[in-house]
A and B are shown apart, each in its own frame.
Chain A
Amino acid sequence: SQKIEQNSEALNIQEGKTATLTCNYTNYSPAYLQWYRQDPGRGPVFLLLIRENEKEKRKERLKVTFDTTLKQSLFHITASQPADSATYLCALGETGNQFYFGTGTSLTVIP
């Protein structure tokens, strides 16, 4: 069956450290992978997109890697801040118009 799993439901880290979130998938052939941020009671907000032929993408303090052999993406937030506390979702896009989401990881950055 198809699955998109994110490494843990909750992750607590100290302010200033790097947060690393994992997204693993099975039985998908994604053309690209995305990461979204979701705050409580709100819709997700797009952060980054990485395509299947790209290894790494950066945007300010965010870095995403994509390994199609391992079927895994890593999402890093460097110099984390309490304002980074939220749920982070990965999503796969195949060649059609569908976007499939992972289970999400709740990140708490402790001051």
Chain B
Amino acid sequence: SQTIHQWPATLVQPVGSPLSLECTVEGTSNPNLYWYRQAAGRGLQLLFYSVGIGQISSEVPQNLSASRPQDRQFILSSKKLLLSDSGFYLCAWSPGPGQGPEKLFFGSGTQLSVL
């Protein structure tokens, strides 16, 4: 069966420090991968999605970036965090074309606090 791992679960970082959040998926190949951010009490904002290795689409211009160095690995990064980067970050995957129904499977999330 497919599983998604996301870490760390919580992170406290000072303003101006770098960020690296990692997400890996097991049990499937060529998944679509996503990073979402959720502010307190709000809906999910799509940040990045990827349909293949090295293919990244950005939805919101900001100081975050994403990379997909391997088929089932998705990394969210920042060189210098801002206070406004605080939030609940969720990685998700969906089956690739023709591999299954269109739905998202989410990781357990990372609660990021920038102080």
Contact status A49-B102, CB under 8 Å:
yes
Give a binary string over B77-93; 1 marks a CB under 8 Å from any A CB, 0 the rest: 00000000000001010
Known: A103-B42, A104-B43. A34 touches B32 (CB 8 A): no
* Complex-state Cα separation, A93 to B106, whole angstroms: 16
B interface secondary structure, majority: strand
Known: A42-B108, A43-B108. A101 touches B103 (CB 8 A): no
Q: A64 interface residue, CB < 8 Å from B?
A: no
Range class of the B interface residue count: 20 to 34
A62, chain B: closest CB distance, angstroms? 15
Scoring B42, B43, B45, B108 by chain A CB atoms within 10 A of each residue's CB, the highest score goes to B43
Scoring B44, B49, B90, B94 by chain A CB atoms within 10 A of each residue's CB, the highest score goes to B44
The count of A-to-B residue pairs whose CB atoms sit within 8 angstroms is: 57
**Residues on B with beta carbons closer than 8 Å to the beta carbon of A9:** 41
**Residues on B with beta carbons closer than 8 Å to the beta carbon of A16:** none
B47, chain A: closest CB distance, angstroms? 11
The chain A residue sitting closest to B42, CB to CB, is A103
* Complex-state Cα separation, A101 to B49, whole angstroms: 14
Contact status A49-B103, CB under 8 Å:
yes
A11, chain B: closest CB distance, angstroms? 14
* Complex-state Cα separation, A98 to B105, whole angstroms: 14
Q: A46 interface residue, CB < 8 Å from B?
A: yes
Interface members, chain A 39-57 (any B CB < 8 Å): 41-46, 49
Give a binary string over A82-108; 1 marks a CB under 8 Å from any B CB, 0 the rest: 000000010101000111111110000
* Complex-state Cα separation, A52 to B7, whole angstroms: 36
Provide a sorted-by-A list of 11 A–B residue pairs whose CB atoms are within 8 angstroms. A4-B43, A41-B109, A42-B109, A43-B107, A44-B44, A46-B104, A89-B43, A91-B104, A97-B32, A99-B102, A101-B45
